[in-house]
């Protein structure tokens, strides 16, 4: 099974929303989220619950929990073996529609100009 290439969404100002969000999280949460991102790179489209789930409009969620708090990272595919992680959030009951809408908007930007709107993590 070929490995999926993982990119992060990048704003026009060069900021990377996912990294900014992760920087504000406790070390244990950062570690759990990094594990999920690694698994996404290993499994791509084959990653399923409880680690990932499809939301709507081509947007998926990576799922991590720590001490009863649910963390989500929204992502989308930009090719057969290329995935872009849009951003992260702390989930209450469900992922708010506005967060999914934001990921859909970012997906369209990436489709229009992949190089400008993506960042390749080391």
20-63 pLDDT, tens per residue? 999 999 999 999 999 999 999 999 999 999 999 999 999 999 99
Q: What DSSP string describes 13-71? A: TS--HHHHHHHTS-HHHHHHHHHHHHHHHHHGGG--TTTEEEEETTEEEEEEEETTEEE
Domain coverage including residue 22: 5-119
What's the predicted TM-score (pTM) here?
Answer: 0.95
Tokens describing residue 54: 């499809």
* pLDDT greater than 80 at residue 2: no
Domain tally, the chain: 1
71-87 pLDDT, tens digit each: 999 999 998 899 999 99
Q: Is the pLDDT of residue 65 over 60?
A: yes
* Residue scoring higher pLDDT (106 or 122): 106
- Kindly state the tokens that stand for 99: 């967060």
């Amino acid at each position: 099974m070929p490995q999926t290439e993982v990119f992060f969404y990048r704003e026009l100002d060069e900021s990377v929303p996912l990294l900014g969000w992760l920087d504000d999280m406790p070390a244990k949460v950062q570690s759990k989220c990094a594990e999920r991102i690694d698994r996404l790179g290993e499994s791509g489209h084959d990653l399923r619950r409880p680690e990932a789930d499809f939301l709507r409009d081509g947007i998926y969620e990576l799922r991590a929990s720590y001490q009863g708090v649910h963390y989500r990272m929204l992502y989308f595919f930009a090719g057969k073996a290329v995935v872009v992680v849009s951003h992260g959030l702390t989930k209450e009951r469900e992922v708010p529609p506005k967060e999914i809408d934001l990921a859909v908007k970012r997906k369209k930007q990436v489709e229009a100009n992949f190089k400008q709107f993506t960042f390749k993590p080391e």
